[in-house]
């Protein structure tokens, strides 16, 4: 009997201890991962604030004795920070907003209606997700240098003997046009997220609206969209982040008004133009400062949106 | 048998549906299908620019031959790309799934840890990662990899000397640690997609499995995992595309360098060959999964 009681007691304590052990295990994993994520960021910030001599001084670990703004100044000068930031905002961010809006329209059409050719369209959506944008970037660039729609403008131009095809490279149009037609930067995934959300939304309200004589466009604007703030925020954040970090499209489409990501990528070379050669410690530090400058705007925006975004992720519900 | 035409209301609805997707169809044709066909054409031709015109002359297999047989780096780069893929892909899927499983639970500090893990999504641009993880190594040590920051983070060698192990082992540890670092930095969006997928699993299923007396392990394999199958495919597709097109992939970056010096034909040929190989390999892995998945999509 006593043995049995003892056994039961051990079992009970084991049951009590188990969640605690699990909690510790979880905490260890999370802390390790947080360490891996935060360390490079802190490293970046701390070295951006150091002078070249402090960077090489082994006694200075994290916080330099003298903070210096020199690296930031040099990085800003080399990156053309103001102009680059302006082009990022003008080209990329507005394009992200457009994409967020148009992808919702497309996804609503795909999720709510039956029409001939829908299966083909879904297949194209998968292709759009799978085919990397690098595959089509060259024809897109060539097309944008002489904007044409299936050769129509060339034909008309040939008849009236005038060049009608505008060169829209290095303008905002080459970012806006694909976004307007919801085939912009990673639109496939945005459409997919919206599609999953709309498919999970109860149909009844919209059907009631239809019976009451509201046309689908109005139903979409007044019923579907207001109840899908979760999906909108998720897509908006992702799209903004992708556009902000976009390098591949921007480097091909722009030749003068470089967005931030492109300026940052060429920062080591740009620094050497103002006399800080690669191999010089100051070049490394300048690049670190450039990274900080690049990350800060979007990080600040994220910190404001974080709670909203974290909650949205919970509720956007991409189901199987 | 004649197909029955849909009734009036249905037809009206389908027209509205088409109205919603018309911009997308136009966009697909103008900015996806046509460029894709064009780029296939470019792979077999020579492109020259004359004022006001682009001259494309067909040259047959010249570009393909150049990429496959004359380019000294291509084959090596492809092998490198696939070996990175081979270890990163499973690691990224597992790490992001584990992260997601942890972060959906309710515990103190959940918001904080979520905020940190989503930070990788925010900063996960090739450019910053490349600079912070790799670039600085090039100047301080001559190793030129992310080893330098890893060495700073965890001093493997000192741990090994404490444990009394030979220092040669430290190299292997270094490689493992490096890949862990890259993997964690690259699994932000995947974690996010998994979390949103996990949230969508109805609670009743878990209640039932609890009543039936399933252990946590069984619960994972018989409830969570099957319910995640579709999100898993999406995540895998996304990861494959990300891995093969990231800025650190050598084929893509060399093709980009070629493009910037307006060497369009050879770079397109290179990308086509590369992504065809990728496509074949990936679809070979996925054939059983794919059928099942396409059926379930609608």
Of A30, A138, A302, the CB nearest to B42: A138
Measured between beta carbons, the chain B residues lying within 8 angstroms of A128 are 28, 32
CA distance B167 to chain A (A): 23
Q: Which residue has the higher pLDDT, A56 or B118?
A: B118
Ranking A228-232, A280-284, B84-88, B147-151 by mean pLDDT, the lowest is B147-151
CA distance B95 to chain A (A): 10
Question: What tens digit of pLDDT does each residue of B83-134 get?
Answer: 888 888 888 999 899 999 998 888 888 888 888 888 888 876 667 777 776 6
Q: Is the pLDDT of residue A251 over 90?
A: no
Measured between beta carbons, the chain B residues lying within 8 angstroms of A110 are 20-21
B123 touches chain A (CB under 8 A): yes
Measured between beta carbons, the chain B residues lying within 8 angstroms of A183 are 24, 27-28, 31-32
Q: What is the pLDDT of residue B126?
A: 64
Of B15, B17, B200, the CB nearest to A317: B200
B211 touches chain A (CB under 8 A): no
Measured between beta carbons, the chain B residues lying within 8 angstroms of A143 are 35, 38
Contact B16 A138 (CB under 8 A): no
**Low-confidence residues of chain B, pLDDT below 50?**
1-2, 135-147, 297-298
Contact B107 A37 (CB under 8 A): no
Chain A residue with the nearest C-alpha to that of B177: A36
Q: Is the pLDDT of residue A49 over 80?
A: yes
Q: Is the pLDDT of residue A85 over 60?
A: yes
CA distance A18 to chain B (A): 13
CA distance B115 to chain A (A): 7
CA distance A284 to chain B (A): 6
Question: What tens digit of pLDDT does each residue of B210-231 get?
Answer: 888 888 888 888 888 878 877 8
Interface mutation target, options B4, B35, B224, chain A, most CBs of A under 10 Å: B35
Q: What is the pLDDT of residue B22?
A: 92
Question: What tens digit of pLDDT does each residue of A146-178 get?
Answer: 777 777 777 777 777 776 677 778 888 889 999
Arithmetic mean of pLDDT, A289-302: 87
Interface mutation target, options B187, B196, B268, chain A, most CBs of A under 10 Å: B196
Contact B237 A244 (CB under 8 A): no
Contact A33 B99 (CB under 8 A): yes
pTM of the full predicted structure?
Answer: 0.84
Q: Which residue has the higher pLDDT, A313 or B218?
A: B218
Place of tokens 């493997």: B156
Q: Is the pLDDT of residue A267 over 70?
A: yes
Assign domain A80-265 one CATH number from 1.10.3720.10, 3.50.30.50, 1.25.40.10, 3.30.420.40.
Answer: 1.10.3720.10
Q: Is the pLDDT of residue A97 over 70?
A: yes
User: Domains in chain B and their CATH numbers?
Assistant: 74-297 (1.10.3720.10)
Q: What is the DSSP string of chain A?
A: -HHHHHHHHHHHHHHHHHHHHHHHHHHHHHHHHHHHHHHHHHHHHHHHTS-HHHHH-TT--SS-SS---HHHHHHHHHHTHHHHHHHIIIIIIHHHHHHHHHHHHHHHHHHH---TTHHHHHHHHHHHHHS-THHHHHHHHHHHHT--STTHHHHHHHHHTS------TTSTHHHHHHHHTT-STTHHHHHHHHHHHHHHS-SHHHHHHHHTT--HHHHIIIIITGGGHHHHHHHHHHHHHHHHH--HHHHHH-SSS--HHHHHHTHHHHHHHTT--BTBHHHHHHHHHHHHHHHHHHHHHHHHHHHHHHHHHHHH----
Chain A residue with the nearest C-alpha to that of B15: A115
The complex's ipTM works out to 0.84
Q: What is the pLDDT of residue B291?
A: 67
Contact A37 B25 (CB under 8 A): no
Measured between beta carbons, the chain B residues lying within 8 angstroms of A268 are 135
Of B102, B140, B298, the CB nearest to A26: B102
Of B21, B105, B116, the CB nearest to A38: B116
CA distance B263 to chain A (A): 10
Arithmetic mean of pLDDT, A130-141: 85
Arithmetic mean of pLDDT, A8-29: 84
Chain B 42-101, residues with CB within 8 Å of chain A CB atoms: 42, 47, 52-54, 98-99
Task: State how far Cα B48 lies from the chain centre.
Answer: 33
Cα gap A131→A320, rounded to integer Å: 23
CA nearest to A64, candidates A52, A79, A78, A46 = A46
Q: What is the pLDDT of residue B97?
A: 92
Q: Is the pLDDT of residue A70 over 70?
A: yes
Chain A residue with the nearest C-alpha to that of B10: A114
Three-class DSSP category at B265: helix
CA nearest to B237, candidates A131, A136, A249 = A131
Q: What is the pLDDT of residue B2?
A: 46
Measured between beta carbons, the chain B residues lying within 8 angstroms of A146 are 52-54
Q: What is the pLDDT of residue B137?
A: 42
B11 touches chain A (CB under 8 A): no
E strand or H helix at B247: none
Chain A residue with the nearest C-alpha to that of B226: A320
């Amino acid at each position: 009997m006593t043995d049995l009681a003892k056994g039961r007691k051990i079992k009970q304590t084991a049951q009590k201890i188990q969640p605690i052990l699990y909690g510790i295990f979880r905490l260890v994993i999370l802390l390790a991962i947080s360490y891996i994520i935060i360390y490079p960021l802190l490293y970046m910030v701390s070295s951006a604030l150091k002078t070249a001599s402090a960077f090489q001084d082994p006694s200075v670990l994290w916080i330099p004795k003298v903070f210096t703004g020199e690296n930031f100044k040099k990085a800003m000068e080399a990156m053309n920070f103001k102009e680059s930031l302006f082009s990022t905002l003008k080209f990329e961010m507005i394009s992200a907003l457009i994409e967020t809006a148009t992808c919702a329209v497309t996804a609503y059409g795909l999720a709510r209606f039956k029409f001939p050719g829908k299966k083909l369209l879904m297949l194209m959506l998968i292709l759009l997700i799978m085919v990397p944008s690098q595959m089509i970037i060259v024809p897109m660039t060539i097309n944008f240098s002489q904007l044409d729609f299936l050769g129509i403008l060339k034909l008309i131009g040939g008849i009236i003997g005038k060049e009608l095809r505008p060169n829209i490279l290095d303008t905002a149009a080459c970012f806006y046009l694909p976004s307007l037609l919801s085939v912009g930067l990673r639109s496939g995934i945005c459409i997919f997220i919206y599609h999953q959300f709309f498919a999970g939304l109860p149909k009844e309200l919209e059907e009631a609206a239809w019976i009451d004589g509201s046309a689908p466009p109005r139903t979409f604007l007044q019923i579907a969209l207001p109840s899908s703030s979760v999906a909108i925020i998720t897509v908006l954040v992702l799209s903004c982040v992708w556009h902000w970090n976009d390098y591949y499209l921007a480097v091909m489409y722009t030749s003068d008004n470089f967005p931030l990501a492109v300026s940052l990528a060429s920062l080591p070379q740009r620094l050497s133009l103002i006399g800080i050669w690669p191999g010089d410690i100051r070049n490394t530090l300048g690049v670190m400062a450039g990274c900080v400058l690049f990350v800060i705007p979007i990080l600040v925006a994220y910190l404001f949106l974080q709670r909203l975004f974290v909650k949205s992720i919970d509720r956007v519900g991409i189901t199987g | 048998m004649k197909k029955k035409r849909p009734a009036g209301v249905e037809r009206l609805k389908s027209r509205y549906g088409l109205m919603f997707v018309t911009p997308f169809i136009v966009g697909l044709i103008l900015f996806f299908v046509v460029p894709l066909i064009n780029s296939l054409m470019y792979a077999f031709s020579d492109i020259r620019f004359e004022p006001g015109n682009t001259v494309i002359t067909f040259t047959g297999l010249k570009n393909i031959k150049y990429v496959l047989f004359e380019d000294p780096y291509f084959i090596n780069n492809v092998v490198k790309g696939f070996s990175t893929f081979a270890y990163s892909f499973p690691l990224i899927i597992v790490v992001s799934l584990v992260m997601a499983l942890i972060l959906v639970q309710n515990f103190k500090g959940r918001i904080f840890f979520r905020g940190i893990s989503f930070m990788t999504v925010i900063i996960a641009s090739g450019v910053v990662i490349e600079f912070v993880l790799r670039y600085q190594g090039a100047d301080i040590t001559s190793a030129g990899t992310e080893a330098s920051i890893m060495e700073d983070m965890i001093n493997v060698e000192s741990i090994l000397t404490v444990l009394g192990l030979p220092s040669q082992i430290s190299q292997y540890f270094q490689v493992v640690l490096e890949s862990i670092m890259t993997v964690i930095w690259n699994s932000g969006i995947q974690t996010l997609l998994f979390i949103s997928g996990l949230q969508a699993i109805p609670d009743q299923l878990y209640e039932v499995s609890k009543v039936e007396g399933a252990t946590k392990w069984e619960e994972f394999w018989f409830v969570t995992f099957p319910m995640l199958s579709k999100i898993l495919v999406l995540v895998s597709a996304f990861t494959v595309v990300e891995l093969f097109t990231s800025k650190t992939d050598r084929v893509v970056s060399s093709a980009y360098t070629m493009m910037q010096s307006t060497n369009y034909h050879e770079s397109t040929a290179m990308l086509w060959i590369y992504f065809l190989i990728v496509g074949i390999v990936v679809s070979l892995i996925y054939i059983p999964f794919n059928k099942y998945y396409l059926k379930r999509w609608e």
